[in-house]
Structure 1
């Protein structure tokens, strides 16, 4: 069963409109298009009281694995370095002078493994959310509006005209009908503590996902995930390590 990120009804923007059938259809297929593409390049900006962390890299949505480089802004370099992750495990390769882009082939040594933290880590919550933005099947377009998904407005990103939409509300997505639409069960992921934050999707006319903004419980401001910020580089697993899924 697919899992769709949700938006807390208390955090929904003022004045949303009901989705048209076209908008619902595009919202329903946007994660499936990521899966069909195989993978997407992205930049993830993670705010924090100690400074911002920025991930630059790629996610293989079919292999369910991400890889790239993390760099801090306005903070020390203790979190800087290469990172590769799945839904269960994180591999980190600390670097004092982390490059702007990760090498296409991960180093063969210097990695440390740890479980992906489900609570208390804004970075891990952001990585988990980014990994869920691909699905091997579309969501149910008819049930998305019934469960609170809405149109918020229009924008233009890198030359693309996009519609801004919210996902289903947390309250409706956890009701008995939501489970049949593939929308239930993501509130803990989005909020990282069982409380979903506000989620907005910037979606093009063909259903392509260009940006996602999501509230994470452990972050003071929303996390922003921008797609196609650089060329997609296929993800190669760290040599000698079998990713835990």
Structure 2
């Protein structure tokens, strides 16, 4: 349930000029920061996946560790990805956090699938949450942006807004929901994708950002 200032349920309303400005810069602030720590929760019918790692928004490269929940443990291990390539390092007992330097061997490469695969769609969305320029503030209200509530996220007071789909319209719902702080910082994002039974959740700054180091001997194209 989304709560308003009075603590009761809210209905969507038009964004104020300040809210439009914050929504317009939130992806740009990720790019300016260079990188963010992120936890991606990908639900599926048999359990789900949790990716704990970091994203370099200058090179558009992600790196982390995958833990399966429920019956879905087949993807456990390390993962590094770009907009075109996924590198996986299977592990039967993956660590809580990925090592700062990726292992030198044991990696398998495959193309990133743009649709039909919940994990890959979630990885692509995660990369697209950083942009080298602000979104067009004048167009956001015309494209369905709206204020839908307030919430606390990891100790930060946020406004919840429906906003741009970050270029993922082929596999997501018409809107993506953003939890944005008073300075425009992105603290959480939720996106519904066709291949997942519940929305995928992206939580930022759940731990300290660790710079993304490339897999030795591999330079995947962003």
With the shorter chain as reference, the TM-score category is over 0.9
Which structure dedicates a bigger proportion of its chain to strand? 2
Q: Report the CA distance between 1:76 and its aligned residue.
A: 4.5
Residue deviations 1:156-201 (CA, integer Å, cap 9, x gap): 1122110000015x8xxxxxxxxxxxx7x5311x42xxxx354210
**Structure 1: runs of 5+ lacking an equivalent:** 1-12, 171-182
Which of 22, 34, 37 is 2:33 aligned to? 37
Contact 1:48 1:220 in 2 (8 A): yes
Superposed CA RMSD in Å reads 1.6
**Structure 2: runs of 5+ lacking an equivalent:** 1-8
Task: Determine helix, strand or coil for the equivalent of 1:244.
Answer: coil
**1:66-215 alignment, distance < 5 Å:** 66-168=62-164, 185-188=167-170, 190-191=171-172, 196=173, 198-215=175-192
Matched pairs, number: 214
Which structure dedicates a bigger proportion of its chain to helix? 1
CA distance in 2, matches of 1:77, 1:52: 8
Contact 2:77 2:92 in 1 (8 A): yes
Q: Report the CA distance between 1:244 and its aligned residue.
A: 2.3
TM-score (norm 2): 0.92
* Aligned position for 1:3: none
**1:11-30 alignment, distance < 5 Å:** 15-30=11-26
TM-score (norm 1): 0.84
Where has structure 1 moved over 3 Å in runs of 4 or more? none
Contact 1:197 1:216 in 2 (8 A): no
Task: Determine helix, strand or coil for the equivalent of 1:29.
Answer: helix
Higher relative contact order, structure no. (Cα contacts within 8 Å, ≥ 6 residues apart): 1
1:221 lines up with 2:203 in the alignment: no
